[in-house]
Each structure stands twice: as C-alpha cells, then as structure tokens.
Amino acid sequence: MFLYLPLVVVVAYSFNDSRLNAEWVGFTGRWYVTLLHDEAMLLAARNSLLVALTASVVSTVLGTLAGLALYRRPRQRVLPILVLTPIAIPEVLQGVSLLIFFVLMNVSLGLVSIVLSHVAFCIGFVAVVVRARLQGLDPSLIEAARDLGATPWQAFRRVTLPLIAPGIAAGALLAFTLSLDDFVITFFTAGPEASTLPLQIYSMIRIAVTPEVNAVSTLLMALTLALAALAGRIAPGALRGRA
Amino acid sequence: MTNLALRGVVKRFGDVLAVDDVSLDVGAGEFFTLLGPSGCGKTTLLRLIAGLEQPDAGAVLLDGVDLVGVPAEKRPVHTVFQSYALFPHLSVARNIAFPLEMARVPRAEIERRVAAVLDDVQLGGLARRMPDELSGGQRQRVAIARALVDRPRLLLLDEPLGALDAKLRVQMKFELVKLQREVGITFVYVTHDQGEALALSHRIAVMNRGRLEQVGDPRTIYERPASRFVADFIGQCNLLDATVRRIDGDTMELEASGIGVCAAAVVAGAAAGQRGTLALRPEAIEIGVPLVDATGARVQRRGRVRDALYEGDVTFYTVALDDGTCLRAMQPNADARRAGRFAAGAEVGLAWPSDAGRFLCS
Amino acid sequence: MAERRRPLPVQLTRRPRWHLAARLRGWFVSAPPVAYLLVFFAAPSLIMVVAAFRVAGDYGGLLPLVDTDPATGAMRWQVRLDNWRTFFTLEGFARFFADPIYLEVFARSFGYAAITTLICLALGYPLAWMIARSARRHREALILLVVLPFWSNFLIRAYAWMILLGPQGVLSRAVNAALGWFGIGPVQLLFNTFAVVVVLVYVHLPFMVLPLYANLEKHDPALVDAARDLNANAWHCFWRVTWPLSLPGVWAGAALVFIPALGMFAVPDLVGGTSSLMIGNVIKQQFLDSRDWPFGSVLSLMLTLAVLAAAAAAAWVARRGARRA
C-alpha cells in the first residue's frame, strides 16, 4: 500500500552498496558498520535514549495523575485546556515559546531543557490514554471495594491501579516513542551543542546525504516496530484511545 | 429487636426526589425486601444504607447508632451488587479475602475463613479460578461469599437474580432463603419482581416514587393491599372505581362501576359516601357457575367471555359485563376439565365471595 | 458459626468533613500536572505573547527588561515609566501587515493546510470506511497497519519521499517516462509545492483515519439496513445516513490535520523549494537565523490566532451540525 512504499524503499536502500540512492548495486551491510563507528551519531543516540527514558517516566507519572483528574472531574475546565492543548497546537509555537522561556529564565539549553519540553507535551498523550482506560472500568468495582471496607486510597491501590496498569504502560510507551521521535520542539530547545537522533538525522539529510541515513532510519524503524508490538501486547486497543 | 432503622430519610438528585421521607424498621435476622418498579427509589435507599450515598435529611440507624456521615468503608454493612462487581484481576479466593485483608485479619485466619465460606456456598474447588472463568451462578455465589465472609451486621442485595436464567433463578431462590436462615444475618433485598419478593421475604416494603406504599408480610401484602398501587403491582387484580353506600356491621355495601351494588369486606377507616377502589383478585372469581339465589355471601353477575388465555396451568378469562366493564377471572385448568372451558362469546355466570372484594381508600 | 463481630464505628464524623476530604483528594491529584503545565506551557505561551510587543536586543533575542548592575550585582529594572517606548513597540505588527510577503506566506500556509486536509479526507475516508466494514477480527490488525508507519520517525518518512521523488527516484523516473510518451518534458517532482503537499498528506493521513474510523466503527449497521429497506439506493444510503453521522469524526480528523499542517516547517524545509515556504519556516528563520525574536513572536502570535480561529470554526460548525441533527 501507498503507506508503506517509501519506508520499504528506505530499508531496501540501506543495504544498497552505493553512495547514491539511485541504482541498486549490490547487497552490503557496510553502512551499518559505518554507523557504529560514527561518534556523533552514537552520542546523539545515547542522548535520545536518555532523554526519552527520563521524559517518559516523568510524563507518565504526571500524565497518569492528569488522566485521573480528567476522569474524576469531567466538568472542570482548567485542567483539560492545560493538558490537551499541547497535543493539538503546532509544535513550532511550543518550541518557540519554550525557547524564549528558557532563555529568559537563564536555563541553559541542553539535555535538561529538552527533557522539560518533552514532558510538557507528553503529559497530554499519557493523560488521554489513561483516561480512556479509566472510562472502560466498571465503576461498581470501586464501590464494591469501598463497600467491603477499603478506604479510598486502598481502593485505588488495590483495585483501580492494577486495572489501569495496562493503560499506564501503554501511555509510557507512547511517551517514550514520542520523545524519541520528536524533532520540532527539540530543534528549538536543544541549543547549539546537544544533539538527539532526530536532530542528527536532520542535519545529515540537509548537508550530506549518505546511505548511513538509510541505515539509521531502518534501525529506528525496527526499534519503533518492536515498541509498537510491545504496546500491542500490553494494551490492545489503547492505541485507539487517542482519537 | 430492631437491627436497622430508617427515620425520615430524604435524598434528592438535582430536581428529582428519589427518596421521600422514608421511615422503617428491620428486625434482626429478617429477610426484608424493598419492592417496586424501576425508578421508585429502592436502589437509592439501598445505597444510602450501604453508605455509597449520603442522605440529604434523616437518620440511618444500625443497632441504634446513626450512620449518616460515616463513609461506606467503615460501615459493617456489605452489598451484593447487581453486576456482582467481582474484581477481575483477583482470583476467587483473593476476591473473597478482600474484606478480611482490609480489616487486617492475620493471613492464616483469612485462609481458614475463606475456605469455610467457599464450602458454605458450595464452591469448594474453585478458589484459584478467575472471575471470567466462572458461570453466572458461580459468580453470584462468590459475590455473596465475599460479602458474608467477615460477618457484617447487614447484607444488602441489589437485584442479584436479575442476570440469571429462569431455571437458575428458581434454584437460587431456594438457596438464598436457606442461606439466610442458616447464617442468621439480616438481609435487605431489592427487587422489582414481586414473585421473588413474596417467595423470599419475611416482610416486604412496597415503594413507589420514593415513598413507602405498604410494609408487611407477604400474605398481608397480597391479600390485604393498602392502596390501589400495591393491589395493582402485586399479582393481578381487578380494580374498579367504587363508592361506599353503607356500612353494616361486618360488611360494606358498595356501588362499583360495572358491577352496581355489591357487598365487600369491611375495611377500617372507610365511611359512607367515600370514594375509592374495589379490588378483586381473578383467582377469587368463579366462572361458569349456575346462578342461584343470592345469599349475600356471594356476589353474582352475568357476562360474556371476551377472550381466554391458556397458560398451561391456568386460564385467564376476560369477561365483559353488561355495561362493557371487563373483569378478569382465573381458573386453574385442573378444575376446568371438570367445569368445562369457555370460548369467546360464551355467556357465563360469575360469582365470588363477597369478602373477597376489598375496598381501597385510594 | 459464632465469630467475632465487627465493632461499630465509634467516632462519627459529620457530613461536611467527609466531603471536604474528597475535595482535597481531588486537588491533590490534579495539582502536580497542573503546576507543571502552568510553568512549562502556559507561562512560555504568555511570555511569547508579550514578546511580540518587545524590541530586539542588540545581538538578537530580546532587549532585556532587567539588568544586573555590574557594581552591586543586584538586579535592576531597565524599564522605567519614561523610557518604556524603547522596550515595547508595535513595530513588529506594522511590519507584518505592511510587507505583503508575510501575508503571502500565511495565505500559502493556509492553502497547503487546506489542500492537505481535503486530500487526507478523500483518501482517508474510504480507508476508514473499509476498515470499519471489515470483519471484526481483522479490524484491529488493519488499524495497526495504518498506524504503524506513523510510529516511525517523522523525518525518516519525509526523507523516504525525498528518495522517491528525487530526480533519480523510482517514482520520478516512472512518471517522467510515462509523460515522455506524450512528448511532455521531464517534470521535477521534488523541491516544489507538489512534494510539500505529498509529504504533508502522507504524514497526516493517520490523523484523519483514526478519528474517522473511531466514528464509523460505532455506526449501527441496522441504520443502513433500515434505509435500504425504505428504498434508498447506495448513494442515498451514504449521503443521507452514513455521511451525516460521520460528520463529528470528519471534523475531528480535519482539525487534527489542518492545525498541525498549518504550523509545519520541517517538511517545506526538506522537500520544498524556495517558493514553497510556509509560516513555520519563516518563524524558524526569525528565531534562529535572523534572531529577531520580537518579530518571530509576532508571527507566532499570528499563527496562534489563526489556529484558534480554525479550532473555533470547527467547534462552531460541529455544534451547529449537532443541533441540526
């Protein structure tokens, strides 16, 4: 299908023994080898993983709280606006405003600023997934727990939490992937030195296109595929919760 | 000795008055049923007793202590929910152990008591199963076991038989009665099925639109309904507008629409000239009798059969009187084989004992 | 079976305290995310709005309002009542409206976003419809298939199209070969409007498909059966029954495509030519290249207003449609 053609091409060309993305010359894995020796790329990859890990943990915690709050008080207006707007607006605006903000607050631009920015927009996604999961819960289960002697906190810990755990996990995976992939916001808040994988890929594409890019892309795709499969295992249908 | 007492309980949801000044007493060890159509407030009342809602006014007294303001988890009252609400992520044994864990009972004792109660409800070997592996009847027993395991003072049941098929329902009715008599705990049972209520309860409270219509034991409720609503809701009943003409010692003379003047049982509080309803149960009307001289002890009329509904064990006849008013009469088919069956259009005589007709003041 | 009976609760709390506890819990749960977002989302946005009114600093950025006194190290306000005009100005706005190029870029961005939305709708609706109609067990798998490309990096997707559309790319050569038969000269498929729109559509298609699918899946098949029973042909069945019911999904999808597309900058940057700049690109230039932050903020503010207008329009139409239906 139309959707897959471009990706297949990239994968295919990553094995192409040629500098140009034109003809099929021969099958080789040497671009992957070059990749492994590319210092800048490795650093960027390490940064990306670090950032994604931190950002996903923080935004999962905050996002779960937000999802709970959205579920419990659906008529309130402040929280939904704060949480859901970052998902819908163009990333350019967020990136730019965060840039100004960090500079004014004298926060140096680097990995920290990247993490902080990522969390801001990941909270919304996690919250939506968690809220969808909560809405699928039978409310009489909580009542039954209370009726049988559980305090609200105990009911939450022993009944609600185990039952929404798949949703939380799906949200965490979603946040991780979004953070790993993010380009626009990172672009503005990274500053001159820090680099993440998407940024690295971007400069490679702009400046000097080598099939290394294809190789990186293939690897990244494989990683996201694996994550998606994992998410599918844990919480089928949670992906749809976003829309 | 009263176990549960409600005094002037009121509950509103927005504009809707769900529970309107309800007061009642439930004795210890009683099987007490709240009966009424949907929306009458019975489930709300149950939730008020459980502590899942708080009343806007009034008191809920358990053994003399007012529970208003006490949250559900602190009340020694447990509920069996209509959907059973079994925790899907816990096994049967863990489900049942839940209230004991909340009360911090030591582990060893928890296991002992869970095993004991599983035996009581005859689910001995299923301790490790998960709720979604059980049948409806089994789930219900787990729900009951879970609610009983830590000996609450009161057990509340919200239409627990609703989700079961007919045969299972009949079986569970027997079992519930047996269980309650054995365990001796007060049951407060909510249902809209009057057959269930009559079969299971020591006493019934009939509710309509948030108010109590009548409270009494099954026989009283059935044979001596206090209002038109109760007469209509419980079993089948012929209801005719009537006016009191005269009260004569232990009989009343009524003028009822369609029937004209007839005798009926005396009801306390009725006065001459009062308007109300004549309630007559179909099973009290004999159909196809030869009309003999009226003795006063029976009311007799003539009519034409409109239709007959054969239902296996009984037949319901709709008989039209001279002015068009219809009466429903029920005849057990065992009798009918002797007395003959009547087809539409047949002219028949009807008779009933005069004290079978009750005058209702509303 | 005599067991120890549970003791009755001794202390009775009055109703207000019980409700208060529930309220406090609610606040406690929502406080952390609210706090975080206020700091890292609301505040920056407000600052950006204010920045639109400020003046650029000497080396770019913003002319600082506060300064540190080199002698004492204390912070002191540069702004005073008499010199506030040096710090705040409407010049950015004037420039925006005066120079036609900016409005042109805006218009172009709107155009691209609109075309993208329409094409996504045209492609996405049948796709969503097919999936919603297919056998239940296939649906999850099919949706996963559609969403999966979305999970790969956005840059990679753009890059993949660069390969395909480049002069040596498969698609390019195929198209040119076909056109060659008609004697039409070779066309360039990359670095122009065409490429931008293609990639925009490709990137945003899942955003259109998902809400549409979520909506279509919930349609009761009995409704269409009822329509057919009442002598409606296939077209009418669709137009009078399915389409109106799917409108909320259509609007949701359109909003999810139009708004982000409006603010795109990476796509035109990579696959567009000099004549296909979008507003996102200009904003980026102002902030990172020319370092004219106030003006960049002005542009961002304009973009924000545009986005809000689009969102409000979508909501209004959706509400009107709901009322009419």
For residue A66, the chain C residues in CB contact (below 8 A) are 30, 33-34
pLDDT on residue C324: 55
C177 touches chain A (CB under 8 A): no
The H or E element that residue A176 is part of is helix A161-181
State pTM to two decimals. Answer: 0.74
Which of A193, A172, A170, A197 lies closest to A182 in space, CA to CA? A197
- Report the pLDDT averaged over residues B110-121: 88
**Tokens of residue B96, six digits:** 């049942």
Which ipTM score applies to this complex? 0.73
According to DSSP, residue B352 is labeled E
pLDDT on residue B186: 92
CA dist B300 → B294, B321, B349, B357 (Å): 7, 11, 7, 12
Is residue B316 scored above 80 in pLDDT?
yes
Contact state of B103 with A149 under an 8 Å Cβ cutoff: yes
Rounded Cα distance between B209 and B16, Å, is 10
Q: Where are the domains of chain B?
A: 2-229, 237-360
Average pLDDT, 10 consecutive residues per value, chain A (243 residues): 57 50 50 66 82 90 86 76 79 83 77 86 86 84 88 86 86 84 83 78 73 70 75 55 34
Rounded Cα distance between A155 and A133, Å, is 17
The H or E element that residue B347 is part of is strand B347-353
CA dist A119 → A57, A125, C33, C153 (Å): 9, 10, 10, 18
Contact state of A149 with B102 under an 8 Å Cβ cutoff: yes
Asked if CATH classification 1.10.3720.10 holds for the domain at C99-324, the reply, yes or no, is yes
For residue C18, the chain B residues in CB contact (below 8 A) are 54, 69, 71
Asked if CATH classification 3.90.190.20 holds for the domain at A29-242, the reply, yes or no, is no
- Report the pLDDT averaged over residues B188-208: 91
**What pLDDT, in 10s, does the model give residues B211-262?**
999 999 999 999 888 888 998 898 888 888 888 887 777 777 777 777 777 7
Per-residue buried b or exposed e for A195-224, using 16+ beta carbons within 10 Å of the residue's own CB: bbbbbbbbebbeeebbbbbbbbbbebbebb
Contact state of A147 with B150 under an 8 Å Cβ cutoff: no
The residues in A 91-110 lying below 8 A from C, measured between CB atoms, are 91-94, 96-101, 103-104
Please classify residue A237 by burial: count the beta carbons closer than 10 Å to its beta carbon, then call 0-12 exposed, 13-18 middle and 19+ buried: middle
pLDDT on residue B190: 94
Instruction: Indicate the CATH number for domain B2-229.
Output: 3.40.50.300
Confidence grade of residue B203 (pLDDT, cut at 50, 70, 90): very high
CA distance A169 to chain B (A): 16
C8: closest chain B residue by CA: B76
Among C1, C3, C13, select the one facing B69 at the smallest CB separation. C13
For residue A224, the chain C residues in CB contact (below 8 A) are 151-153
- Bigger pLDDT: B124 vs A214: B124
CA distance A210 to chain C (A): 12
| Rg of chain B in Å (alpha carbons) | 25
Contacts 24+ apart (CB under 8 A), B338-344: B339/B287, B339/B288, B340/B288, B341/B308, B341/B315, B342/B287, B342/B288, B342/B305, B342/B308, B342/B317, B343/B305, B343/B308, B344/B305, B344/B306, B344/B307, B344/B308
Among C164, C266, C280, select the one facing A9 at the smallest CB separation. C164
C2 touches chain B (CB under 8 A): no
- Bigger pLDDT: C275 vs B202: B202
B13 touches chain A (CB under 8 A): no
Confidence grade of residue B16 (pLDDT, cut at 50, 70, 90): confident
- Single-letter amino acid, residue A236: P
CATH architecture of the domain B237-360 equals Beta Barrel (2.40)
pLDDT on residue C189: 64
C211 touches chain A (CB under 8 A): yes
For residue B154, the chain C residues in CB contact (below 8 A) are none
Contact state of C8 with B54 under an 8 Å Cβ cutoff: no
Contact state of B150 with C14 under an 8 Å Cβ cutoff: no
Residue with tokens 């079969």: B199
- Chains in contact with chain B (at least 3 beta-carbon pairs closer than 8 A): A, C
For residue B79, the chain A residues in CB contact (below 8 A) are 143-144, 147
Contact state of A97 with C154 under an 8 Å Cβ cutoff: no
Q: Where are the domains of chain A?
A: 29-242
- Report the pLDDT averaged over residues B152-175: 87
Confidence grade of residue B292 (pLDDT, cut at 50, 70, 90): low
Report the residue of B48, B53, B79, B150 to disrupt the A interface, i.e. the one with the largest count of A CBs within 10 Å.
B79
C65 touches chain A (CB under 8 A): no
- Bigger pLDDT: C203 vs B157: B157
Is residue B34 scored above 90 in pLDDT?
yes
- Single-letter amino acid, residue B146: R
The residues in A 166-205 lying below 8 A from C, measured between CB atoms, are 177, 180-181, 183-184, 187-188, 197-198, 201-202, 205
Q: Kindly give the pairing relationship between strand B154-158 and strand B186-191.
A: parallel
For residue A137, the chain B residues in CB contact (below 8 A) are none
Contact state of B85 with A144 under an 8 Å Cβ cutoff: yes
C1: closest chain B residue by CA: B183
Q: Where are the domains of chain C?
A: 99-324
**What pLDDT, in 10s, does the model give residues B47-83?**
999 888 888 989 999 888 888 888 888 888 999 988 8
pLDDT on residue B32: 93
Rounded Cα distance between B49 and B207, Å, is 16
A146 touches chain B (CB under 8 A): yes
Contact state of B81 with A158 under an 8 Å Cβ cutoff: no
Total CB pairs under 8 A between chain B and C: 38
**Tokens of residue B190, six digits:** 């909510």
**Tokens of residue A232, six digits:** 């599918």
B280 touches chain A (CB under 8 A): no
For residue C12, the chain B residues in CB contact (below 8 A) are 65-70
pLDDT on residue B191: 92
Residues of chain C where predicted confidence (pLDDT) is lower than 50: 1-16, 325
Confidence grade of residue B35 (pLDDT, cut at 50, 70, 90): very high
CA distance C190 to chain A (A): 14
